[in-house]
Structure 1
Amino acid sequence: MTGAHRRLAPGRLVIASHNEGKVREIRALLAPFGIEPVSAASLDLPEPEETGTTFAANAELKARASADLSGLPALADDSGLCVEALGGDPGIFSARWAGESKDFGVAMQLVEDALGKAGPETGRDAHFVCALSLCWPDGHIETFEGRSDGTLVWPPRGQQGFGYDPMFLPNGHKQTFGEMDPDAKHAMSHRAKAFAKLVAAVF
């Protein structure tokens, strides 16, 4: 996004996600700013098909769809796990690896199996990426990205967080995102880093 940033006024903001874990994290991040978050699911907004080839493109597509349909500003997140030894997979397809049932136990096993096939010497470096797009009903859009680097552990550890969190050990830490207290994760996650850029620009 080029040009001047636009300030976001207090009031209702659609969280353009049907993923309760993401909605919960974003709601917690928004709490200090006088914003009243409403989820796309609670407004019965459909989930658009994610046809973008990057996290940013998919976040923008989801934000535009929710802003158009609701007439409210909308914030969308597209995020995923990128594993270096797998050529960046699952990447933008991170949710799809969990299948129709959104079972991330299955998705984590698929990642582990793919690493196993790559051989015992395969590195386990990985990173999470988060793109946050904020779109106004008039079509103005701003996008911010954050990244967290770490390594993958097996078996998965912890019941906190969601998605691939239990197998992701952020660099410099002894707990996986799945073991961390939510406040500790919020302080340093890829989503928190993207959110900090958004806050600096629009609040």
Structure 2
Amino acid sequence: MALALLVLCAGMPLLDLALGSGRRQLAPGTIVSVGTESDGVRPVAVTVTHNGWVLNKGNSSLSGYAQLHSADVVFNLSVVIPLVPFDARELWDGLARIVAIGGRTRLGTRPRPITTAHGLSGLIGTLTGRGRTGTAAVYATDTLGATVTAAGPPVAFQNVAAQVEAMVRTVTISGPGTSQTSEGRP
């Protein structure tokens, strides 16, 4: 029994080393895409804008969502496929309900309009919870949506808040029936 524990304890770090930590360092300019792949392209993407961000492969499923980390801050990008047409306000309200289910986190009630560098319109606002603070953003097109949440301990989040906002401004949604601008639908 002791030999088995010794083998397990000694072998686990070697196994971790062989398999990797499940995290991949991302260079600035790296594009992280999520959603169902069509013709080699996933429809929702964000561009990493600064050093220090890693992709958490264990908490990502590129068919639907990706999780990035910088120190103690977690950045989530998700694709949303609506059952009926929706706009960014409806998506914000839906995200607020989902976030509130755990009872520990809340979205701000007054999101403000945001437009990405590619002309995609959406909403951005605050995300707060026990010992955590952050940002949330939503974007909606005719056939797809995207949500971003980023949060961490207040000091850690403040250290990367400008990086988070820069990445939020790089979100793109592409694919059949989508347009980068959602005029009248922020």
Common fold, TM-score beyond 0.5? no
Larger Rg belongs to: 2
Bigger share in strand: 2
> TM-score, with normalisation over the residues of structure 1?
0.29
Higher helix share: 1
